[in-house]
Amino acid sequence: MTEYYYPNKQALNDAFDIFRYDMRRFIVRCLNRVEGKSAEEAIKEKLKGARSREFSNNLYRTGSVEESIDINYFPDLINEYWTDIFRQEFRGERKVKNTLRTIVDARNEAAHPPQKDLDREDVRSRVTDIANLLGRIKEPDSKQAVERIRDRLSSPRQDPPVSPAPSTSREGFHVYTDLPTGMSKIHKASCRYYKNRKPNPLPDNWWHGPYSSEAGARAASQNRGRVVFAGCCR
């Protein structure tokens, strides 16, 4: 089946890659303040039914609480812990919850194979929402990265002819940061190093992703040191 390149959808997915990584860290950091519970326990207590089982399965597979949080959990967790934790983080502005729900709904729409590209102005609005929310959780570097994505959408429209997307976009990209050297390497999902990865107790020495594009992986990893494409994945 032929896969086509849709620039607006790709821009939105690149913004989601950055957003997902930083929101996971923010949520875990906040939930570690729940009295008498770890972040893992706090999440399991509030997720219900299939989502609770999915989180447990993800945690078993990845060994990382952050990596196990699906983007669809974000609104539920923030709403459940709004009074105790997140109201203080967002200074009581409940509209943050509506914005987050809108962002997650847009992500779910973008996750489905489209018959045509997404509307540019709709995508630009959602990318702006993502940038603003990243600013609210004090991630200025990521906010700027998403704003650059938004600015590309604001440039004069030049629609290229529809053509097959690069084959690597199907498998996703993952980033591994080596703590001693401070270097982050981008690997394809098919890479033997990614397939044979083992859990590591150090959170900054872990695999992050998947990201839908190399650009998204680079942007999400830019504040963790130098980022290069792994030679074995060229």
Q: Where are the domains of the chain?
A: 7-154, 170-233
- Structure token pair of residue 159: 């629609």
Can you read off the two tokens belonging to residue 32? Answer: 């570690």
Per-residue pLDDT at 205 exceeds 60: no
pLDDT in tens, 149-167: 998 887 655 444 443 333 3
| pLDDT for 176 | 76
Give the whole-angstrom CA distance, residue 80 versus residue 76.
6
Per DSSP (E only), the strands in 7-142 are none
Burial of 175 (0-12, 13-18, 19+ CB in 10 A): buried
Q: Which DSSP category does 89 fall into?
A: H
Cα separation, 87 vs 4, in Å, equals 42
Mean pLDDT of 103-125: 86
CB 175 within 8 A of CB 227: yes
- Beta strands 227-229 and 183-188, pairing class: parallel
C-alpha 191/C-alpha 176 separation (Å) is 12
Q: What angle do CA 207, 149, 64 make, to 5 degrees?
A: 20
pLDDT given for residue 85 in this prediction: 93
Could you report the per-residue pLDDT of 35-55, keeping only the tens digit for each? 999 999 999 999 988 888 999
In this prediction, residue 4 carries a pLDDT of 55
Percent of the chain with pLDDT over 90: 38
Residue 200 is predicted with a pLDDT of 47
Q: Across-strand partners of 184?
A: 177, 227
What is the predicted pLDDT for the residue at 19? 93
Inform me whether the pLDDT recorded for 220 exceeds 90: no
Query: pTM value?
Result: 0.69
Region at 182 (left for phi over 0; alpha for psi -120 to 50; beta for the rest):
left
- Beta-bridge mates of residue 188: 173
